Chains A and B, each alone.
Chain A
Amino acid sequence: MTLRAWERRLTPGQVLVRVGLGLIFLVTAYPFVYVFSLAVMPYENFVRQSAHFLPSGFTLTYFGQVLSDPRLAHAFGISALKTVVGTVLSVVATVAAGWALSRPELRYGRLLTALFIVPLFVGGGLIPYFLVIRATGLLNTFGALVVPGLVASFNLLVVRSYFQSYPQAVLDAATVDGASAWTTFWRVVWPTSTPIIATVALLSGVGHWNEYFWPSLLVQSDLSPAQVVLQNLAVGRSFLSQINATGAQAAPESLIAAVAAIMVIPVLIVYPFLQRFVVSGILIGSVKE
């Protein structure tokens, strides 16, 4: 029996498995379908029709309104800046530290590593954390959006265990050629470690893009990223009424859905890479445990 024929052969068990997976697929994907439906369906149709599981009609009015609102555009800009700056800082700090901690030449390497492991298990909790950030003077600055999450212990440990199996021959060759520790790291290790750098970058990037709670607490509205603005929109604590005052028919559901859809789109775009690298990242992390 060829592989394809084996794949196609439907035993009762296979039917059951496929039905189960089909249901899971529907339930998992539907919230995404629904949010895009709401965002592109004319609000009149939403109100008029009794059932609308899929979009009836199509309009980009709400996307247009959301993107042309200066405050939302500003919030998307803050989110993008936070994501880019925060990710670059995190990746450089995490990969550099992970590399150094994986080197046997580093004295007290085990002690330092332990220092990074402890926070995985104990923390100060909300209030002391907030007070520390306030004491650093980061409150209401752009720094509050990118500095506190600089290094995630888990990522650092994954990077370290990845580098522990870096081929020694390559490093010896670099040393023979007279490369300093800096040159070795930037010119040899960094360019040959794309998988782990991509994993950390994607995890950190998505984390920055998605972060909501601390930005909502640490900065005033002029520095609020889009997640904060979306949440305020969704629970009615903001300028939704003012968007509507610009002439559009009252369509809160459609506008909220449009903002949510815009927040999802960047994640969908990087997702193919994300899935590949993150699955491998998860596995690097778990296998070496």
Chain B
Amino acid sequence: MRRPLVNGKLTLPRAEARPRRVRHLRAHLPLYLMVLPALASVLVFNYAPLFGLVIAFQDFSPFRGVLGSDFVGWQNFQDAFRNPFFVNALKNSLIISGLKLAVGFPAAIVLALLLNEVRARWIKVTVQTATILPFFISWVVAGAMFRSLLAPDGAVNELRAGLGLTPHAFLSDPSAFRLVLVLQDTWKYAGYFAVLYLAAMAAIDRATYEAAEIDGASRWQQMRYVTLPGISNTMVTLLVILIGYLVSAGFEQVYVMYNVSVYSTADILETFTLRLGLQQSNYGLATAVGLFQGAISLLLVGAANLIARRVRGQGLF
């Protein structure tokens, strides 16, 4: 390293004299600078909104800001619970995500089991490729696809016509709309979750299967008593995470697909919050609903994790 000349004299290295903290920082400054952009991003876009949650307890006015608005205690929460549209949205969120869990969770396991059992490699590769693809398609495109499939003159109604049934307007029928959401969600995510299960299956020791075969276990019994227990950790992990999402019914999907005629069964907490906050400028109430949703979500994850630990002796955290 070149030493700088000060007043024509060679300066001595002063590192020894400097405090250790400064020396450390000097030596490793690049590492801290590497974290900086990500840190700034997370502080501004993740933590600042957390402090913005204060709005939930305010009669928030955009002109007076977070610091200038009046505090109203739990008023916004009380207003929310008295609002019939909030109660409807909460109910819909729970029903929609409950149905998604009930259909989508086993569907991914069945898909993974089938892929694991099939002997022809080309079938496995083809089906796996096709089933992961929807995961990478935007909800807007998925929405456009399903809207044309389910249109009065779309493929599904043509199929119904071929079977002698009358056309059905699935997307404006409140009782059919949830089913559409559930099936579309399963279509989009089953292949993705199946990848996780297949990875767990690949990690099962081949010797276990050989031992089962020697004991006379059929393919079916091997699946039941070797494969399924082998993926039970992955199942529990995903279940705990998915239970945490029970109050989040899939905002972008619903937002892209729904319309006024199905608000009664499809309006969820996020869509309700959005209309309340950004269209009616009722920021305080909308933030209170968001905070309520986040708190329930955390409670659910915690509870699911606790149950998983009690039942299996091992949770996610």
Contacts and interface: CB of A to CB of B under 8 A. Distances in A.
Interface of A: 6-9, 11, 13-14, 17-18, 20-21, 24-25, 27-32, 34-35, 38, 46, 50-53, 92-94, 96-97, 99-101, 103, 105-107, 112, 115-116, 118-119, 121-133, 135-136, 147-148, 150-151, 153, 156, 180-182, 185, 206, 209-213, 217, 227-228, 230-231, 234-235, 253, 256-257, 259-260, 263-264, 267-268, 271, 274-275, 278-279, 282-283, 286-287, 289
Interface of B: 24, 27-32, 34-35, 37-39, 41-42, 44-53, 55, 62, 110-111, 114-115, 117-121, 123, 126-127, 129-134, 136-149, 151, 153-155, 158-159, 161-162, 187, 191-192, 195-196, 199, 219-220, 234, 237, 251-252, 255-256, 259, 270, 273-274, 277-278, 283, 286-287, 289-291, 293-294, 298, 301
Given A181-B31, A217-B278, A128 B123 contact: no
Those 6 A-B pairs whose CB atoms lie nearest each other, nearest first: A124-B49, A125-B290, A128-B52, A210-B138, A97-B38, A181-B30
A25 B126 contact: yes
Given A38-B148, A209-B138, A50 B283 contact: no
Contact of A286 (B121, B199, B252, B301): B199
A254 to B, nearest CB: 10
A93 B37 contact: yes
B139 A212 contact: yes
Contacts of B42: 115-116, 119, 151, 153
Contacts of A34: 145, 148-149, 154-155
Given A93-B38, A126-B273, A181-B30, A227 B24 contact: no
Nearest to A122: B294
Nearest to B107: A24
B301 A124 contact: no
Contact of B155 (A9, A53, A231): A53
A23 B34 CA distance: 49
A271 B136 CA distance: 8
Nearest to A20: B114
B270 A126 contact: yes
B38 A35 contact: no
Contact of B117 (A13, A126, A180, A268): A13
A283 B196 CA distance: 7
A185 B219 CA distance: 50
Contacts of B146: 31
Given A17-B117, A32-B133, 8 more contacts: A6-B119, A27-B187, A35-B145, A127-B52, A230-B141, A234-B144, A282-B195, A289-B237
A156 B38 contact: yes
B290 to A, nearest CB: 3
B158 A51 contact: yes
Contacts of B30: 180-182, 185
Given A124-B52, A126-B286, A231-B143, A28 B38 contact: no
Contact of A127 (B155, B251, B287): B287
Nearest to B219: A13
A123 B293 CA distance: 10
Contact of A50 (B28, B32, B158, B298): B158
The residue in A124, A227, A256, A289 that gathers the most chain B C-beta atoms within 10 A of its C-beta is: A124
A204 to B, nearest CB: 12
B138 A125 contact: no
B53 A125 contact: yes
B251 A150 contact: no
B196 A282 contact: yes
Contacts of A31: 134, 142, 145-146, 149, 187
A121 B298 contact: yes
Nearest to B129: A275
Given A18-B123, A32-B133, A124-B290, A227 B140 contact: yes
A129 to B, nearest CB: 5
A135 B192 CA distance: 37
10 contacts: A34-B154, A53-B159, A105-B28, A119-B46, A124-B51, A128-B55, A128-B290, A133-B45, A181-B31, A212-B256
A289 B29 CA distance: 29
A274 B287 CA distance: 37
Contact of A21 (B32, B62, B127, B161): B127
A69 B50 CA distance: 42
Contacts of A125: 49, 53, 273, 287, 289-291, 293-294
Contact of B48 (A132, A182, A267): A132
Contact of A124 (B35, B50, B126, B127): B50
Contacts of B118: 14, 17-18, 21
A289 B315 CA distance: 12
A278 B115 CA distance: 18
A279 B45 contact: no
The residue in A7, A24, A230, A278 that gathers the most chain B C-beta atoms within 10 A of its C-beta is: A24
B152 to A, nearest CB: 11
A99 B34 contact: yes
